[in-house]
Amino acid sequence: MNALWTSQEIAAACGGAASADFDSQGIAFDSREVGQGDLFVALKGEATDGHRFVSQAFSQGASGVLVSQPVEGPHVRVADTTDALNALGAGSRARTAAKVIGVTGSVGKTSAKEALFEALNRAAPGRAHRSLKSYNNHVGVPLSLARMPRDTEYGVFEMGMNHAGELAALTRLVRPHVAIVTAVALAHGAFFKDESAIADAKGEIFQGLEPGGTAIIPYDSPHRDRLIAAAKPYAAEIVTFGRSAEADVWAREGVKGDKGTLINARLRAAELTFTLSQPGEHWISNALAILAAVEAVGADLPAAGLALAELAGLAGRGRRLPIQTQAGEALLIDEAYNANPASMRATLAVLGAEKADRRIAILGSMKELGPAEAEHHAGLAAPIEAAGVDFALLVGSEMAPLAEALEGRVAFAHVADAAAATAEARALIGAGDAVLVKGSNSVGLARLVDALAGVN
């Protein structure tokens, strides 16, 4: 097996000094995730110092460590490990011949990144690479780049932000050939004056495009023209996607069946009919962005269609789980990882389309919405009602305005936290129910999902 990095390559990329020769097959900055042959990067953070866990990393099989102070064992010593990780990411990007795709958006970026990876890996098995989990910030992006194998043909990198200027720095590190904005919606509203400012921040992704690069933009977004203006100085091509026939990549009305939605997609130079396994209008939009990117890098479109037909839901982002109740089986739709007003509306519509004896929505607070927080929570009453929700279980203090808005419209309960919601849900859910669980990650509804699924 070819080494991901040799100690001498690490030292050269980071401007450090190697204490010994060693090869690394992977990289981790969390000592709990270190595997056999990995390089452990000892980062210094506000809460802890990775140098405290060097011994643990070696005990778990690390081949070497990247440090800024003396340690025992094979290592590369540098002045600053955070700067060194960035340099390692930049070194990986410089040495690759891969087509690189960057993905951002207020909603859908992780799901789109995973689906795009599956589409490209179907075309080039074992030669596609992507950022894992939601490693999309100033630490996760260089780590994901540094983990990219030498022989990668396609690299897919998610980039996130909650302040202006963050994406500009990340995209200049990633240097994508193709940059996608999935959607613009109110997220991290506490840090932006309005949604247009969020669109401007998302548009920063185009600043890192390689010469000849392609910008992929949602046609149906109210911020389309703003995004196009942001892309024009940097993109050789601008490709729009959406349901409108005026978009460069668009879809006719989908036909829903037992195995998904049959879609006829019109691209710039091709037409593709495929089945999309994941439900919801937002997934049709994701699929069109993915196909636009596949076409832009010259990859296999039919293979991408097959991958979209076989997509499974991600934990916290649409995974569908059968769960056992005292009376029989119910369906749990796991959207517990994150939430904002747009994603709440989209997933409530998915719940509304589900055939079930009862529809139950377990909804956690939406965080970082800014001054209009109460208004945005109360605004979920109409989509809850439209989805035919039989019972809404509201979790967190921010849900109080929604509880008030639901009075006399939909049956509900309002509880303080995930622990209370778990107890309530166990008593509430019965056979034949369809249950949506969604909220901001910090609310902790993933623990509720695990409890209902029998994980703990």
**In the predicted model, what is the mean pLDDT of residues 411-419?**
97
The per-residue pLDDT for 6 is 97
Confidence at 302, pLDDT banded by 50, 70, 90:
very high
**In the predicted model, what is the mean pLDDT of residues 284-304?**
97
Say if residue 424's pLDDT is above 90. Answer: yes
The per-residue pLDDT for 212 is 98
pTM: 0.86
Say if residue 451's pLDDT is above 80. Answer: yes
C-beta atoms surrounding 287 within 10 Å = 30
Taking CA atoms, 300 is separated from 112, 122, 203, 307, in Å, by: 17, 8, 28, 11
Nearest alpha carbon to residue 285 among 202, 186, 182: 182
Q: Is 212 annotated as a binding residue?
A: no
The per-residue pLDDT for 262 is 93
Q: Is 106 annotated as a binding residue?
A: yes
- Could you give the 3-state DSSP secondary structure of residue 442? helix
Say if residue 455's pLDDT is above 70. Answer: no
The per-residue pLDDT for 34 is 96
C-beta atoms surrounding 2 within 10 Å = 9
Say if residue 189's pLDDT is above 80. Answer: no
Burial of 390 (0-12, 13-18, 19+ CB in 10 A): middle
Locate CATH 3.40.1390.10 in the chain. 5-81
Say if residue 1's pLDDT is above 60. Answer: yes
Angle at 398 (CA atoms; ends 395, 401), nearest 5 degrees: 100
C-alpha torsion sign, points 219, 122, 105, 342: positive
**In the predicted model, what is the mean pLDDT of residues 233-240?**
98
Say which amino acid occupies 46. Answer: E
Tell me the per-residue pLDDT of 14-30, one tens digit each, with 9 for 90 and over: 999 999 999 999 999 99
Tell me the per-residue pLDDT of 315-352, one tens digit each, with 9 for 90 and over: 888 899 999 988 899 999 999 988 999 899 999 999 99
Q: At what angle do helices 445-452 and 418-428 cross, to 10 degrees?
A: 30
Q: Is 139 annotated as a binding residue?
A: no
Q: Is 408 annotated as a binding residue?
A: no
Where is mean pLDDT largest: 28-32, 203-207, 251-255, 258-262? 203-207
Q: Is 105 annotated as a binding residue?
A: yes
Say which amino acid occupies 282. Answer: H
Q: Is 19 annotated as a binding residue?
A: no
Candidates 2.40.110.10, 3.40.630.40, 3.40.1190.10, 1.10.760.10; CATH matching 96-309: 3.40.1190.10
Locate CATH 3.40.1190.10 in the chain. 96-309
Which class does domain 319-452 fall in? Answer: alpha beta
Contact between 148 and 96 (Cβ < 8 Å): yes
Q: What is the mean pLDDT of the chain?
A: 94
- Indicate the pairing of strand 17-18 with strand 75-77: antiparallel
Locate CATH 3.90.190.20 in the chain. 319-452
Domain 5-81 has CATH 3.40.30.10: no
Q: Is 63 annotated as a binding residue?
A: no
